[in-house]
Amino acid sequence: MRYGNRLGQYCNQTVTLERAAGPDEWGASGYEPAVEIKARKEANRKMIRDAEGNTVVSNTTVYSTVEVRPNDKIDGSEVISAGEWIERDGTICGWEAYL
């Protein structure tokens, strides 16, 4: 069984995703309208690096077959860091995000 198939079965929860948008013509950043996606949200503490390279504590990890990027929001919390899950054949099968 491929990782993507397993991840799809594992993502048995619904979360709200707001994609980061901007900056607009005035330089302000905002968010696109929220959409519900299937994901797996787990509470755990982990030391990670944010986009600026600072070490921060993540309290939640979210797994999804939908692309998630830093600065997006999941259930109202900003994504600190995110990365792709890669199949053995090199294709992207999912994303892991830290809140």
- pLDDT tens, residue order, the chain (99 aa): 566 678 888 899 999 999 999 777 777 789 999 999 999 999 999 999 998 999 999 999 999 999 999 999 999 999 999 999 998 899 999 999 999
Q: What pLDDT score does 97 carry? A: 98
Confidence (pLDDT) at 7: 85
Report d(CA 46, CA 42) in Å as an integer: 12
H or E stretch including 4? helix 3-10
Specify the pLDDT at position 5: 76
CA 60 to chain centre: 10
pLDDT (0 to 100) of residue 21: 92
Q: Specify the pLDDT at position 3.
A: 64
Domain boundaries, the chain: 3-23+30-98
